[in-house]
Amino acid sequence: MSAAHTPAPLDALWQTSVMVWALLAGEGLAAILALAPAGDGNRWVHFGVASLAIQWVLLTTLGALYGLRTRLATWRPAHVAYAGLLLLVLSTWAVFGVSAWLLADLWPMSDGERGDWFLRLTALALTVGVLGLAAFQNHWRGRQLAVRAKQAELEALQARIRPHFLFNTLNTGAALVHQRPEEAERLLLDLSDLFRAALAGPREITLADELALVRRYLEIEGLRFGDRLRVEWQVPVALPDLAVPALSIQPLVENAIRHGVEPVATGGDVHLQVATNGDWLEVTVANALPSAPVRPTTGHQVGLNAVRARIQAMTHGRGSVRTTTAEGRYTAVIRIPLTP
Contact 219, 231 (CB under 8 A): no
One-character DSSP codes across 199-257 = HT-S-EEEHHHHHHHHHHHHHHHHHHHGGGEEEEEE--SS----EEETTSSHHHHHHHH
**155: in domain:** no
Clarify whether residues 122 and 267 are in a common domain: no
Q: What is the pLDDT of residues 92-113, one digit of tens each?
A: 888 878 877 776 666 666 777 7
pLDDT exceeds 50 at position 3: no
Clarify whether residues 229 and 317 are in a common domain: yes
Q: What are phi and psi of 28, to 5 degrees?
A: -65, -40
State the Cα–Cα distance between residues 207 and 193, nearest whole angstrom. Answer: 16
pLDDT exceeds 90 at position 63: no
**208: in domain:** yes
Clarify whether residues 203 and 283 are in a common domain: yes
pLDDT exceeds 50 at position 267: yes
Clarify whether residues 250 and 207 are in a common domain: yes
Clarify whether residues 199 and 326 are in a common domain: yes
Task: Report residue 271's pLDDT band, with 50, 70 and 90 as the boundaries.
Answer: very high
Least Cα distance to 165 among 206, 189, 197 occurs for 197
Classify residue 6 as exposed, middle or buried by CB count within 10 Å of its CB (0-12, 13-18, 19+): exposed
Q: What is the pLDDT of residues 281-311, one digit of tens each?
A: 999 999 998 876 655 554 445 578 778 888 8
Query: For residue 26, what pLDDT is reported?
Result: 75
Query: For residue 332, what pLDDT is reported?
Result: 94
Task: Report residue 270's pLDDT band, with 50, 70 and 90 as the boundaries.
Answer: very high
Neighbours of 211 (CB within 10 A): 19
Q: What is the pLDDT of residues 202-237, one digit of tens each?
A: 578 899 989 988 998 888 888 778 899 999 999 998
Clarify whether residues 20 and 81 are in a common domain: yes
Q: What is the pLDDT of residues 133-163, one digit of tens each?
A: 777 777 667 766 666 666 666 555 555 545 5
Amino acid letter at 177? V
Clarify whether residues 331 and 198 are in a common domain: yes
Mark which of 101, 124, 146 sits at the end of a domain. 146
- Helix (H), strand (E) at residue 68: none
Average pLDDT, the chain: 77
Contact 274, 283 (CB under 8 A): yes
Q: Is the pTM of this model over 0.85?
A: no
**151: in domain:** no
pLDDT exceeds 50 at position 170: yes
Query: For residue 234, what pLDDT is reported?
Result: 95
Query: For residue 2, what pLDDT is reported?
Result: 39
Containing structural domain, residue 92: 11-146
